[in-house]
Chains A and B, each alone.
Chain A
Amino acid sequence: EPEVTQTPSHQVTQMGQEVILRCVPISNHLYFYWYRQILGQKVEFLVSFYNNEISEKSEIFDDQFSVERPDGSNFTLKIRSTKLEDSAMYFCASLIGLAGNEQFFGPGTRLTVL
């Protein structure tokens, strides 16, 4: 069964450093998302991406965040200068298209900012 994959599973970084979180969505999906979940809290929407551009972003997704689909398979989330409060689980999700209902989530990357 096709699945969304994410790497790394755990990333530890120093405050102020740049991190890139990587996702490989399901191959025939067209809509891509990043969500985050701070420990013990709910899952929060960050950004949606379609046709090589951002379609919507939340208040969390400020200038320190960016997304990219550098090739036909990867979808990345970059945080330019990490802050302590960026520590969270980051989930990538993909959706086949507007006719589909289910966003498929990856296993997540746990980001720890020290």
Chain B
Amino acid sequence: GESVGLHLPTLSVQEGDNSIINCAYSNSASDYFIWYKQESGKGPQFIIDIRSNMDKRQGQRVTVLLNKTVKHLSLQIAATQPGDSAVYFCAERSNDYKLSFGAGTTVTVRA
């Protein structure tokens, strides 16, 4: 069956440094991927998305890279700030807009 997963459960990063969060997926038929951020006690919050016909998409301080050859997705956060501390999930969307989430990476920003 399909699965979406992250490589590392935790990431500690110095404030101001760049963060890279990785995700591997197994369903080669997936055509749309999303990164969500979840702060403590809150619901998932959309960060950025990418379609399978793209390999890179940039937002404000965030970049998502998609490598379909190895079924790998990454989220890069530039100049990481304390407010970036959260759990980050990658998710794939099926045709009916159901989301399948990965396990999550907890990012901790050190001052």
Which residues in A have some Cβ–Cβ distance to B below 8 Å? 4, 31, 33, 35, 41-45, 48, 55-56, 91, 93, 95, 98, 101-108
Chain A residues with CB under 8 Å of B96's CB are 48, 55-56
Which residues in B have some Cβ–Cβ distance to A below 8 Å? 32, 34, 36, 41-46, 49, 89, 91, 96-104
Chain A residues with CB under 8 Å of B43's CB are 4, 91, 93, 105-108
Contact of A42 among B97, B98, B102 (CB under 8 A): B102
The reply to whether A95 and B97 form a contact with Cβ atoms under 8 Å apart is: yes
Nearest B residue (CB) for A47: B98
Alpha-carbon gap, A33 to B99, bound state (A): 10
The reply to whether B99 and A42 form a contact with Cβ atoms under 8 Å apart is: no
Minimum-distance CB pairs A-B, first 6: A105-B43, A43-B101, A102-B46, A42-B101, A42-B103, A105-B44
Nearest B residue (CB) for A106: B43
The reply to whether B45 and A105 form a contact with Cβ atoms under 8 Å apart is: yes
Nearest A residue (CB) for B51: A101
Chain A residues with CB under 8 Å of B49's CB are 101-102
Nearest B residue (CB) for A91: B43
